[in-house]
Amino acid sequence: MPKPVIVAHYHELWLKGRNRRFFTRKLATALRQSLQGIPVEAIEQPGHRFLIRFCEGASVEAAIERIGRVFGVVNFAVARPVERDIDALCAAAWDEVEPLRFSSFAVRAKRSDKTFAHGVMEIESKVGRYLLDKLRAEGRSVRVSLDDPEMTCRIEITPGPALVYARKIPGAGGLPPKTGGRMMCLLSGGYDSAVAAYQMMKRGAYLSFVHFYGTGGMPGESSIHVARGLARRLTLYQFAAKLYRVPFEAIQREIVSLAPEKFRILLYRRMMMRIAEQLARRSHALALVTGDSLGQVASQTLQNMVAVGDAVRMPVFRPLAGTDKQEIVSLARQIGTYDISSEPFHECCPAFMPRMPALYSKPKQLEAAEAALDVGALVHQGVKAAICERFRYTDGQVEDVSAEEAGAKVSAAASSQ
């Protein structure tokens, strides 16, 4: 059994100037981390791609699943290791190409080991000719297209066996993890904020999460288990994450008793933003992320989003502002958060829902509505009560590491709440 090899490609667009080493190093680290537990012999970088050489017996299926989640990889392929000989290359290329359906193709060779007797052009034209003859002999109407081929059969002459591959597996795309700075995502348990988190991670952001929960009537009825499930799932893409959980019912009650009813939801949101901003500062995060989508519900009109965002100085990113619900739900299915968000949970916001929520509020109105509240004290209360849980990716799985209260370790009783 030859040792399996996977070739991972990245977009060269983000490889501008001095950034190049930074991004490719982060990508190499992410590949290594994602494959932890699968025996890898070496990760090489001959030119603009990674060659991941596995030890004998490594599970290729598991590796495919994991590499498929690494942001920054645009596509990848399992390569056939082949003897360095033109006839062997032709035969392997045919095995690769025969099951694929396409109308135009090209053969592309790269030679990082110059000791191979044949040049790149010669390999390309010999293997190309061989494939064309075989395809035509099978009655398939195909042509060679060097400019815009539907299928590309690639040959890499590296030290050791040559590599042949044609079947591209789409990668997760985006930019490598931890290249875009830190942000704090308000994670509700619903579909939207989990997808929003994914979108920002895909652009290289490194996220922490904050979840506000009310208490359900029954033990275990709150929404914490859902937020935890989502944070755990999302950790697959960035390998570690913190989730702050903040009890919110006492703050809500204060708003209900002291502020005008029609602004309640917006005032809950403003308090969430402020508490999130404080926790973000502690985590050295520079921006907040929410799952808001323009016009989806009353609190997400443009005016209301602006009036809510006005409570904090930190920029608020809303990556789903222009995304339809159907698209959000289909993304949630793809990234594996849909089933977690579908679990029943006790959402804190619908409690004490106003009958007629304000649709177009202004920051000044919300400030006036908050006049009777001690905003600073409520924010402090929320931040102080926050419990931080940590998640870590090990061997393809995410495990819970610990829970801490306001920076200090707490007893198992508090963390198992």
List residues near ligand ATP by CB under 6 A.
186-188, 190-193, 211-212, 272, 290-292, 296-297, 299, 348-349
To which H or E segment does residue 125 belong?
helix 120-137
357 or 396: CB nearest ligand ATP:
357
Any idea of the CA torsion for 74, 75, 81, 83, to the nearest 10 degrees? -80
Closest approach of ligand ATP to the CB of residue 361, in Å: 14
Strand order in the sheet with 408-409: 316-317, 287-289, 182-186, 206-213, 240-247, 387-394, 397-405, 408-409
Closest approach of ligand ATP to the CB of residue 345, in Å: 10
**Parallel, antiparallel or unpaired: strands 151-157 and 5-9:** unpaired
Q: Is 70 helix (H, G, I), strand (E, B) or coil?
A: coil
**How many Cα atoms within 13 Å fall on the side-chain side of residue 3?**
14
Binding site for Mg ion (CB under 5 A): 188, 190
188 or 238: CB nearest Mg ion:
188
Closest approach of ligand ATP to the CB of residue 369, in Å: 18
φ, ψ of residue 186 to 5 degrees: the values are: -80, 105
Question: Which of ligand ATP, Mg ion, none binds 297 (CB below 5-8 Å, type-dependent)?
Answer: ligand ATP
Q: Which amino acid is at 41?
A: E
Closest approach of Mg ion to the CB of residue 291, in Å: 7
Closest approach of Mg ion to the CB of residue 270, in Å: 16
Q: How far apart are CA 158 and CA 249, in angstroms?
A: 62
Closest approach of ligand ATP to the CB of residue 257, in Å: 20
Question: Which of Mg ion, ligand ATP, none binds 183 (CB below 5-8 Å, type-dependent)?
Answer: none
CB atoms within 10 A of CB 282: 16
Closest approach of Mg ion to the CB of residue 297, in Å: 8
Closest approach of ligand ATP to the CB of residue 276, in Å: 8
Question: Which of ligand ATP, Mg ion, none binds 238 (CB below 5-8 Å, type-dependent)?
Answer: none
75 or 215: CB nearest ligand ATP:
215
129 or 325: CB nearest ligand ATP:
325
Question: Which of Mg ion, ligand ATP, none binds 186 (CB below 5-8 Å, type-dependent)?
Answer: ligand ATP
Task: Show the beta-strand stretches assigned E in 137-264.
Answer: 143-144, 151-157, 162-165, 169-170, 182-186, 206-213, 240-247
Q: Which amino acid is at 397?
A: Q
Residue nearest to ligand ATP (CB): 190
Question: Which of Mg ion, ligand ATP, none binds 180 (CB below 5-8 Å, type-dependent)?
Answer: none
34 or 222: CB nearest Mg ion:
222
Sign of the four-CA dihedral 52, 57, 58, 64: positive
Question: Which of ligand ATP, Mg ion, none binds 307 (CB below 5-8 Å, type-dependent)?
Answer: none
Question: Which of ligand ATP, Mg ion, none binds 235 (CB below 5-8 Å, type-dependent)?
Answer: none
188 or 361: CB nearest Mg ion:
188
CA angle 57, 63, 64 (to 5 degrees): 125
Which residues share a beta bridge with 186? Answer: 210
Closest approach of ligand ATP to the CB of residue 352, in Å: 14
Q: Is 290 helix (H, G, I), strand (E, B) or coil?
A: coil
Q: How far is CA 40 from the centre of its chain?
A: 23
Q: Which amino acid is at 16?
A: K
24 or 235: CB nearest ligand ATP:
235
Question: Which of Mg ion, ligand ATP, none binds 291 (CB below 5-8 Å, type-dependent)?
Answer: ligand ATP
Question: Which of Mg ion, ligand ATP, none binds 379 (CB below 5-8 Å, type-dependent)?
Answer: none
179 or 337: CB nearest Mg ion:
337
Closest approach of ligand ATP to the CB of residue 229, in Å: 14
Q: Which amino acid is at 88?
A: A
Which residues make Cβ contacts (< 8 Å) with residue 264, sequence separation at least 6?
A: 255, 256, 352, 353, 354, 357
Q: How far apart are CA 407 and CA 417, in angstroms?
A: 17
- 240 neighbors 392 (Cβ within 8 angstroms): yes
7 or 307: CB nearest ligand ATP:
307
14 or 212: CB nearest ligand ATP:
212
